[in-house]
Structure 1
Amino acid sequence: MDGGGRYLQPMTAYPAGFDVARPASAGWGSGGAPVRKPSRITKLFGSSRGVRRRRRSAGMPIEQRLPRFLGSGLALGFFATVVGFGLWQGGHIDGFIRDYGEPHHALARAVGLGLDQVTISGISQMSEGEVLAAAGINSKQSLAFLDVNDLRERLERVPMIKSATVRKLYPNELVITLTEREAHGIWQNNGELFVIAADGTVIDLMQDERYVDLPFVVGEGANTRSKEYLALLDAAGPLRGRIRAGTLVAGRRWTLKMDNGMDVRLPELKAADALARLVKLENEQKILEKDVLAIDLRMADRVVVRLTEEAALARAEALKKKPMRGKGVDT
């Protein structure tokens, strides 16, 4: 007993009746002390040394557990925010954008991701400058922040462009591949001239002489029926080269304008047969060389011609002078 009336016991003593299992392999330690099994914590972490390491890391100062360069990044971000706000408040940001482009584009160019080369393929009727202007591309942009889908949609809104593909080649090249609509003819409507595709799509205004030799159609809706006009040109055979334009009348039939100014009025149905008659008349009578303003082929059993004013007067004079047989007429 100690001075407080308590019995002294060894720290390693077991309570009465406690039966310690004795593994056959492990046995007992020196001095008869049993070998203790690893605790639950030791099993969880592999060893007591691992437990000690974890406890030390848990007690590590917070500045040692933060990611490296976090402070530098925060300081740089704060500095950039302050500078940007100061530029905006001072009205300098507009000047910066005007000289160097948008800040994010300028930053990307500074790290080597600028837009230094644009490769364009598939163009024959458009110029490279027209393509760049349509896409909205300029030297103050960067490759990193260009949206290829937006560029493709912009290009495909151009009537001349049928389809477009846009690809980025890092670090600084943009590749544009275009499929153009082929200029199919010239359409005159309400006094204006347009270049049209085969499906009648208006490609552009007729602004130069590049398309002067294309088939020429006139009238409302004639652009969408230009293939009919081309079929008439084929039916004209040897006279094709003398046809300068086709006018769609009331959306129903065609009138051809010849190179001498003569009009050839075709029927709504069987227009090719009427052209065959015209070819025959030209071969037999050289009708296109006569003083005729218009030839009407709309009736299958006859040809109606409209003479020029001079030819009409001459014909009238000739009829007056022509003797007439019958009563009361000198012979």
Structure 2
Amino acid sequence: MDGGGRFPEPLIAAGPAGGPAGGAPAPGASLPGGWAGTGILTRYLPRFLRPRRASVAIPIEKRMPRLLGTSLLFGFFGLVGATGFVASGAYAEVVARHGALADIAARAAGFGLDKVTIAGLIQLQPAEILHAARIDQRNSLPFLDVVGVRDRLAEVPLIGAVSVRKIYPHELVVTLTEREPSALWQRNGEIAVISADGTVIDRMRDGRFAALPLVVGDEANLRTKEYLDLLDAAGPLKERIRAGTLVSGRRWTLKLDGIDIRLPETGAREAMARLVKLDAASHLLDKDIIAVDLRMPDRLVVRLTEEGAAVRQEAQKKKQKGKGTET
């Protein structure tokens, strides 16, 4: 105390920065930044509205994640290496041999395409289906595009309908319906496989359809049913008929063991039945003839081979000579 009975210092210890003890601001004092009543604000205001302490400046090298520079360096060299791997063609070679990276990973995980079940095959072979679908050992089941496989198979002319489904972990099931080939159609030197309604299924590629009936000429494919009906009318001669040619889009000429059977434009089935009866009675088609004309309903015209014509002519001469001697 001084001589006047006063203490030289306050009895309450001063807080930080000359404020009251405990750090609380003196009554009526202003807070930094113009805020007043910090305790009330922090108690009643939302967190995002409360005053924040000034951030302490930290050197940038301490704020960066550890080993960031090393990671960036390795990433850069990895990118350069990957770019060179792709640009050199090595990646394309790996894909060509083993498939895409996703397929390689899926096969390693046990989802390889190990089994393909194909149902509905009649004329087609399994190898043809796999080739058309572009399926091989490089594929994996998870990354196989079944829609793409189905669309590619639908483009095969001999396939009428097809469905494709996956059975995990490693099986693919292909179910298809083949179009039924009915005949072969020859035009301009090319032979195509056609259905009963004349629709072209595919071009003749091998001998699997060689036993089908053959029609020849423009629009002959559209009259295939008519030709097949004539074959039925031929009865025992059916196996000897090799082809049917549509002449001028009006009538048929059948090729029977090298003999042309010329049928009329109307009544062709009846004319064929007449030929069957005639051959059964006289074995006409076993003689030296090259053509039988049935276009006239009341008569039959036969054209002989050169040898047959010579024999017939000689026989007629002998017959005439014999008649002259008797006279």
**TM-score between both structures, scaled by the size of structure 1:** 0.68
DSSP-derived class of the 2:172 partner:
strand
Q: Is 1:146–2:144 an aligned residue pair?
A: yes
Aligned residue in 2 for 1:131: 129
TM-superposed deviation, 1:163: 1.2
* Match of residue 84, structure 1, among 82, 85, 96: 82
Find the aligned partners of 2:156 and 2:304 in 1 and give their Cα distance. Answer: 47
Q: Is 1:294 paired with 2:291?
A: yes
Shift of 1:287: 1.6
Change (3 A) 1:166 1:312: same
Asked if the contact 1:114–1:142 (Cα under 8 Å) also holds between the matched residues in 2, the reply is yes
Contact 1:188 1:194 in 2 (8 A): yes
Residue aligning to 2:275? 278
Residue 9 (structure 1) aligns with: none
In structure 2, what residue type is equivalent to 1:309? E
Alpha-carbon separation, structure 2, partners of 1:270 and 1:206: 36
Q: Closer, same or farther in 2 for the Cα pair 1:115/1:306, shift >3 Å?
A: same
Deviation of residue 149 (structure 1)?
Answer: 1.8
> In structure 1, what is the equivalent of residue 165 of structure 2?
167
227, 230, 244: which is aligned to 1:246?
244
Counting matched residue pairs gives: 269
Query: Offset of 1:292 from its aligned partner?
Result: 1.5
Counterpart position of 1:307: 304
Shift of 1:213: 2.9
Aligned-pair CA distance for 1:217: 2.3
Looking at structure 2, the residues matched to 234 and 99 of structure 1 have their Cα atoms a distance apart, in angstroms, of 55
Check whether the contact 2:179–2:201 (CA below 8 A) recurs between aligned residues: no
| In structure 2, distance between residues paired with 1:165 and 1:296 | 52
| CA displacement 1:42-95 (0-9 Å, x = unmatched) | xxxxxx99x78x999xx9xxxxxxxxxxx9xx99xx688665334224442222
Kindly provide the amino acid, as one letter, of the partner of residue 187 in structure 1. Answer: W
Structure 2 SS opposite 1:99: helix
Return the offset for 1:206.
4.7
Residues 103-148 of structure 1: CA distance to partner in whole angstroms, max 9, x if unpaired? 3333333444332222211112211111000011121122222222
Unaligned runs of 5+ in 2: 1-42, 54-67
Task: Give the AA of the match of 2:300.
Answer: V
| Residue 261 (structure 2) aligns with | 264
Matching residue's letter, 1:165: S
The one-letter amino acid paired with 1:267 is P
Partner Cα separation in structure 2 for residue 323 and residue 93 of structure 1: 93
Matches within 5 A, 1:89-108: 89-108=87-106
Inter-partner Cα distance in structure 2 for 1:161 and 1:175: 16
Among 193, 212, 236, the alignment partner of 1:214 is 212
Contact 1:195 1:206 survives alignment (8 Å): no
Match of 1:179, SS state, is strand
Cα pair 1:183 1:203 within 8 Å, conserved: no
Question: 8 Å contact 1:185–1:195 — kept in the other structure?
Answer: yes
Q: C-alpha displacement at 1:329, in angstroms?
A: 11
SS of corresponding position for 1:305: strand
Change (3 A) 1:92 1:283: closer
Contact 2:181/2:201, CA 8 A, preserved across alignment: no
Query: What is the distance in 2 between the residues matched to 1:146 and 1:222?
Result: 43
Matched letter for residue 262 of structure 2: R
Take 1:196 and 1:288, find their aligned partners in 2: how far apart are those partners? 30
Q: Equivalents in 2 of 1:226, 1:162: separation in Å?
A: 20
Q: Distance in 1 between matches of 2:188 and 2:134?
A: 32
* TM-score using structure 2 length: 0.69
- Secondary structure of 1:188's counterpart equals strand
CA RMSD of aligned residues (A): 3.7
Using the alignment, how far apart are the partners of 1:102 and 1:181 within structure 2?
35
Aligned residue type for 1:202: I
CA change 1:279–1:100 in 2 (3 A) is: closer
The answer (yes or no) to whether the contact 1:197–1:203 under 8 Å persists in 2 is: no
Structure 2 CA distance for aligned equivalents of residues 55 and 92 of structure 1: 59
